Homo-oligomer: A and B are copies of this chain.
Amino acid sequence: MTTIKEVAKKSGASVTAVSMALNHREDGHVKKDLAEHIRKTAKSMGYRPNPLARSLRTSRTRTIGFISEEIATTPYAGEMILGAQDAASELGYMMLLVNTDGNGNEASEIAALKRYGVDGYLYAKMYDRVSNVPKSLSHEHTVLIDATSSDKKIPYIVPDEVAMGYDATAYLIQSGAERIAYIGCSEGLLAESLRLKGYEKALKDADRPIDPELIVDVDKNGGALKAVSDLFERKRPDAFFCFNDARTWYVYQCAAQRGLEVGRDISVVGIDNNRIIKETFEPQPTTIALPHYEMGYWGARRLISMIEGHDLDSGRNRKTVAQIPPLDAASPVRIRCTLIERGSVANRGTAAGKR
């Protein structure tokens, strides 16, 4: 590891000059061409500042802590972590990861992060609900991901569930569907009521009636399958908006039992896509992708902009992000999701069907 001192010696300048030049603080301190010269020799020597030494001095580490409850309980955690890591990497930050197991190790993990001097915290939940960051974080730079903060000081970032429901439903309407069913979830999740709200709004905006009989909340396994089956018999829907992939499965299953073909007789839009669905269903359901990657990505960027006290350049993220959330501090960020077409929507000669 080459040090600042060695650069100084080689470039014939003082340590101060080198430090100044390397941090682009030449202002009225170091002559322009000397600064250039220093930077060039530094580069040629492959000089990289030692983050430890720098941090010890500045008490800033250019690291952020990612705190996740039960990282592995959902398959989405990986996406979120990846997004956050991508943003951190783009901005020259490192990410420290800790897991909390719900058994009270949270405090000690956070304490560990504090000791290592992270500049800020990403506090990640695994599905949107009203939540609070622990008091030990409330005065630190913190962003809450995938949960709604009740503490208005803490920015949070959640999927735009209403838009999901709206987009899915509007898409089905556009494609010419007549009786659009909503297969919801009986667990009382926040996402459930919000997606339903979007569904209803889309119908209303299209001057369609809302038929409560087309809306079913189902649980799991046999019971759920039966409930969906009953719906098929009762209302013969020609389109389905499904709360999640398990619900999509029930619909496909019921359709198969009746000899109905997805993409011809019925249309299906689902949320997210399990690997099983990818490897077993034909045609693939049209899907709204859950924005876990984006939540991680924008959460980390937001956090770092707070840390650095200024807005960041717009991200050059390699994944397509439907909408760049504003970075003004107060408001929550709602991420709009992307619709992925997969040919499971019947072409009824209309706009969406024709695409």
- Chain A residues in the interface with B (C-beta under 8 A): 48-53, 55-56, 61, 63, 66, 70-72, 74-75, 77-79, 81-82, 85-86, 89, 94-99, 101, 105, 109, 111-113, 115-117, 220-222, 224-225, 245-246, 249-250, 253, 274-282, 293, 318
Contact = CB atoms under 8 A, between A and B. Distances in A.
A43 to B, nearest CB: 14
Contacts of A53: 56
A116 B94 contact: yes
Nearest to A109: B89
Given A89-B109, A253-B280, 20 more contacts: A50-B56, A51-B115, A53-B56, A63-B116, A72-B293, A81-B97, A85-B99, A89-B98, A89-B99, A94-B116, A95-B96, A101-B318, A220-B280, A221-B280, A221-B282, A245-B275, A246-B275, A274-B274, A274-B276, A276-B277
A85 B94 CA distance: 16
A66 B95 CA distance: 11
Closest 10 CB pairs of A and B: A75-B75, A72-B78, A246-B279, A72-B82, A276-B276, A220-B279, A71-B82, A72-B79, A77-B78, A97-B97
Q: How many monomers of this chain does the complex have? A: 2
6 contacts: A63-B116, A72-B78, A77-B78, A96-B96, A220-B280, A246-B276
Contacts of A105: 89
A96 B99 contact: no
A253 to B, nearest CB: 8
A81 B66 CA distance: 13
B276 A245 contact: yes
Contacts of A293: 72
A71 B75 contact: no
A52 B280 CA distance: 51
A52 B48 contact: no
A78 B75 CA distance: 7
A304 to B, nearest CB: 15
A119 to B, nearest CB: 13
Contact of A56 (B56, B95, B116, B221): B56
A99 B82 contact: yes
A116 B51 contact: yes
Given A52-B55, A52-B56, A109-B89, A246 B280 contact: yes
Contacts of A221: 279-282
A17 B69 CA distance: 40
Contacts of A48: 111, 115
A246 B221 CA distance: 17
Given A94-B116, A222-B282, A81 B71 contact: yes
A34 to B, nearest CB: 26
A11 to B, nearest CB: 21
A97 B99 contact: no
